[in-house]
Amino acid sequence: NAGVMQNPRHLVRRRGQEARLRCSPMKGHSHVYWYRQLPEEGLKFMVYLQKENIIDESGMPKERFSAEFPKEGPSILRIQQVVRGDSAAYFCASSPSPEPYEQYFGPGTRLTVT
């Protein structure tokens, strides 16, 4: 089992462009979580998805951000019209159940907005 995969590992976007971050959960895991880590801060929860459903998006900014976890393929975190404040590390975690202690983390995607 290769673990949670995230790509790209590094992404550079100019202000106004779109950023797409991908997360492939571990085999057998149907629960996916996205967290954001701003510089000098801890990880902050963004969204929790199960296959084809958004379960909790209470940490997601209301505008420009969206997430999906289709029946086939990876989970996608999409940021439209990026701004400098979106520069951060975005971590994905997956789990086989809703239990939080079973979340396995990916290596993260570092987004830099220039």
Residues that bind other proteins (CB under 8 A): 3-4, 31, 33, 35, 40-45, 48, 55-56, 58-59, 91, 98, 100-101, 103-107
Sign of the Cα torsion 3, 39, 90, 35 reads positive
Backbone angles phi, psi at 104, to 5 degrees: -110, 130
Kindly tell me which of 82 and 108 has the beta carbon lying closer to other proteins: 108
Look at the block and give the residue holding tokens 């880590």: 37
| Min CB(114)–other proteins separation in Å | 25
Give the list of residues 6+ apart from residue 42 with CB closer than 8 angstroms, or none: none
Kindly tell me which of 17 and 26 has the beta carbon lying closer to other proteins: 26
| Min CB(3)–other proteins separation in Å | 7
